Structure 1
Amino acid sequence: MQFPSSTHCCVVGGGPAGMMAGLLLARAGIRVTVLEKHADFLRDFRGDTVHPATLRLLDQLGLGERFARLPHRKLEHMRMHIADRTITVADFRRIPGRHRYIAMVPQWDFLDLLATAALEQPTFTLRMSAEFTGLRTESGRVTGVEFRNRDGRLETLATDLVLACDGRGSATAAAAGLRQDLEDMPMDVWWLRIPTADAPRRESQVFARFDAGRAAVTLDRGDYYQTSYLIPKGSDERLRARGIDWLRNDLATLFDWPADTLDAVRTWDDVKLLDVTVGRLPRWYTDGLLCLGDAAHTMSPVGGVGVNLAIQDAVAAARLLAAPLLTGTLTTADLAKVQRRRRLPTILTQQSQRGDHDILRRSLNGTLTTVPAPLRLINRIPALSALTAYIGGVGLRPEPAPAFARA
């Protein structure tokens, strides 16, 4: 197959932000190429949450019925257990709109849906097994990308704009000399799957347990619990030296699981480490390049808000950049408009996560002995659980689909 050697827009990274940006720009008639370094979208422990704001967006794009046919579960509320009390911290059934839940769907299915819709547009190209290796510049302006194709050969793609959507530790942002200012984090996360066949089912599909010196969150995914076990920052090697039986016993105690439920966690190979980072680029762009999603602002896994925020970035970028891309008048001032539009939601979301991090820090160091006052208030006044659900599920400044992309 003959692929184009030039494009209006090259998107590096086929995650939620990259695929959504590619779909929207292609519906505007813009020639867009998405480069994804993997051969497929099958990744374990990716963000599998599709928030109400994204579900509303899919409806506007005419993709709601397609999405509804994907196997998924509906997350309607979140609960946590702290100091012998169980409280509801978010109730999505109380938020306005048609979609009063978070849809739990494997991210590869969601990305396949976006890719299929995008490939229906004649101006869209998807290159799988295309690993970014560098940028081309002329007179200080980014004019193209270099990448290694599925045959191992180096190729160059000339472009008017590069969208860096390659996630945390973005190689594209680094090549452009853009570095995030990082915050101190109290924790890293171990991710693992626990089969639900022999485990007691809970009323809540998301259940967090914060104990003295221990913290974990489990999501009911049907035939397994997707479980996150939090550890103090930088303690991975030290804690693994205790042996896998220690972790199995700790999880069984935390969630009242029978011991044999944890038999599926056979070795440390079944436990994946997420090095938690939170940060933000002071400037999201340089001439000819713009960063979106985690490439611009790395989010904590708390609340699973990173995917929704990244998609909102993509929508704003498509709406603001489609016209100058079509007319060949794109400038850095246009890229700055995207950052200005998305800067406040990013800052406020990260600020909200800092409160959650303080609870996690106190849990891990053993000083969390009572339910914090803000959580007691949320539990006492049900309307507040609707507010937290709205902030987490819809977000601050949700972006509507551009008129040119609507079905």
Structure 2
Amino acid sequence: MPRVAIAGAGPTGATLALMLAQRGIPVTLIEAARDFQRQFRGEGLMPSGLDALHQMGLDALLETVPHRPLSAWEFWLSDRRLFRADEPLGADRPCTLVSQPPLLAALVQAAQAQPGFEWMPGTAIKDLLWNDQRVTGVLLSDGRTVETDLVIGADGRASALRQRAGLTLETQPKSIDVLWFKLPAPTGYAADNRFCTVVKGGRIFSLFHGAEPDKLHLAWAVAPEEPTEQKDWGNTFAALVPPDLAEHFRRVGEAITAPMRLSVMVGRCDRWHHPGLLLLGDAAHPMSPVRAQGINLALRDAIVAANHLVPVLQRANDSTGEATTEATRKAIDRALERIQVEREPEIIQAQQLQAHEASRGEMLRRFSWLRQGLSTASPLVGPLVQQVWTQQQQPLRQGITSVRLEV
């Protein structure tokens, strides 16, 4: 009976493990960390990501974890609001912030109710197991082995499995890092939770209320070589944020967390698979932070992987209780090829759209005459810019290709 091992219990690994286990596929989910409390996990669920969870039957589960809808998107240039676009921008549901740690914990708990599921937290993978140039399992850091018919690497942008398999990640030139701050939220901000992007004085940053109570998040773009020097962040931000927020930033300056530096990596593997091994999510295609595509594309990866893998694995389970046949292994490997073929076009286009939007922000940051001109003319040009921007957001919000759960 074919067995699957998944490395990494992030959104891709946890949802795919749950879907496989629910469909009678024996699956082992291996996670190096002992819990899900990492310093940073993306929170933005676009309509495409919410739809993916809906197709998985996880609407009720989402309601049990901290989440918060966005009210609108605002863009400010030099102390003037260029435009505000209210959610849901034509979709059925607004973009929603979700706290990933409790979401992942709930997904794993749901999978643990399935008889064929095995959960291995706090266990790092040291290497892959091989037999005649085929991946046949993993070697754990404590010396144990897990022998499987398929290993899925959902272990993030620094994927150890990708490196062990010799699969190459082609990265795009690095243009920014992000300093991530948290601070107390202003009174009433949660009720009108706008994702506010500010461009002023050669700086560009965004702020919004996260899923957890009373926490404002602020993402500050910096050049990769720019040092993270200690500043009076409260007054620094107060001089840049929209006028109605300036006094709040001065008042809570000492409560602003020390920034966490996120190194932005964008790229794509030319080949996502090797006989017996499949890469998904950030392991195969790390995304820019622009418009929070990482978690949404990861969930869509999991659906497409389930569509192709479940029929092959179920047929093998139904046909024999003995060792996996060579024909089944070949069928698995053909399914891996089909998964990449189906998913790759959306990934390529999403990365292109992210790069295009980032380039527009960079132009506004660099050219003061452009900022000043748009800011001065905002009452006239703002509605037109809003219309164009809203139309251009639809592919990144709704998904570029059709993804439907069919198993």
Calculate the TM-score normalised by the size of structure 1: 0.86
Within-5 A mapping of 1:216-235: 216-221=205-210, 222-235=213-226
Tell me the equivalent position of 1:261: 252
Equivalent residue number for residue 244 of structure 1: 231
Contact 1:10–1:163 (CA under 8 A) maintained in structure 2: yes
C-alpha separation between the residues in 2 aligned to 1:78 and 1:68? 23
Instruction: Name the counterpart of 2:319.
Output: none
Tell me if structure 2 keeps the 8 A contact 1:95–1:386.
no
State whether structure 2 residue 373 is matched by structure 1 residue 380.
no
State the partner residue of 1:162.
151
SS in 1 for 2:180: strand
Structure 2 gaps, min length 5: 317-323
The answer for the alignment partner of 2:348 in structure 1 is: 347
Secondary structure of the residue that 1:254 maps to in structure 2?
coil
Which amino acid is 2:223 matched to? Answer: P
Query: What one-letter code is carried by the residue in structure 2 that aligns with 1:104?
Result: L
Q: What is the letter of the counterpart of residue 166 of structure 2?
A: G
CA distance in 2, matches of 1:146, 1:89: 52
> In structure 2, how many angstroms separate the alpha carbons of the residues matched to 1:357 and 1:389?
13
Matched, 1:131 2:102: no
Residue 109 of structure 1: how far off its partner (Å): 1.6
Of residues 180, 195, 220 in structure 2, which corresponds to 1:191? 180
Give percent identity, aligned residues only: 30
* Cα separation, partners in 2 of 1:378 and 1:43, compared to 1, 3 Å: farther
C-alpha separation between the residues in 1 aligned to 2:175 and 2:188? 30
TM superposition shift of 1:285: 0.8
Indicate the residue corresponding to 1:3 in structure 2: none
Equivalent residue, structure 1, for 2:54 = 59
Q: How much has 1:216 moved relative to structure 2?
A: 0.8
1:356 corresponds to: 357
Taking the aligned partners of 1:260 and 1:96, their CA distance within structure 2 comes to 37
Number of residue equivalences:
382
Q: 1:282 to 1:311 in 2, by over 3 A?
A: same
With over 3 angstroms needed to count, the CA separation of the structure-2 counterparts of 1:70 and 1:141, relative to structure 1, is same
2:334 paired residue number: 333
Match of 2:397 among 386, 393, 397: 393
- Residue 303, structure 1, aligned to residue 291, structure 2: yes
8 Å Cα contact 1:50-1:104 kept in structure 2: yes
Match of 1:44, SS? coil
For 1:380, give the aligned amino acid: L
**Which amino acid in structure 2 is aligned with residue 124 of structure 1?**
F
- Aligned 8 A contact 1:91 1:385 in 2: no
Q: CA–CA distance in 2 between the matches of 1:261 and 1:34?
A: 42
**Does 1:114 pair with 2:100?**
no
The answer to whether the 8 A contact 1:51-1:393 is kept is: yes
- Residues 53 and 299, structure 2, Cα contact 8 Å, conserved in 1: no
1:16 partnered with 2:5: no
Query: Residue deviations 1:155-210, cap 9 Å, x none?
Result: 11001111110111111111111121111132100011011157977945210101
Distance 1:333 1:378 in 2: 50
Greater shift, 84-93 or 10-19, is seen at 84-93
RMSD (CA atoms): 2.6
Deviation by residue 1:291-319 (Cα, 9 ceiling, x = unmatched): 10110111011111110001101110111
Whole-Å separation in 2 of the counterparts to 1:54 and 1:201: 22
The change in CA–CA distance for 1:382 and 1:80 in structure 2 (over 3 A counts) is closer
Q: Is the 8 A contact 1:77 1:88 kept in 2?
A: no
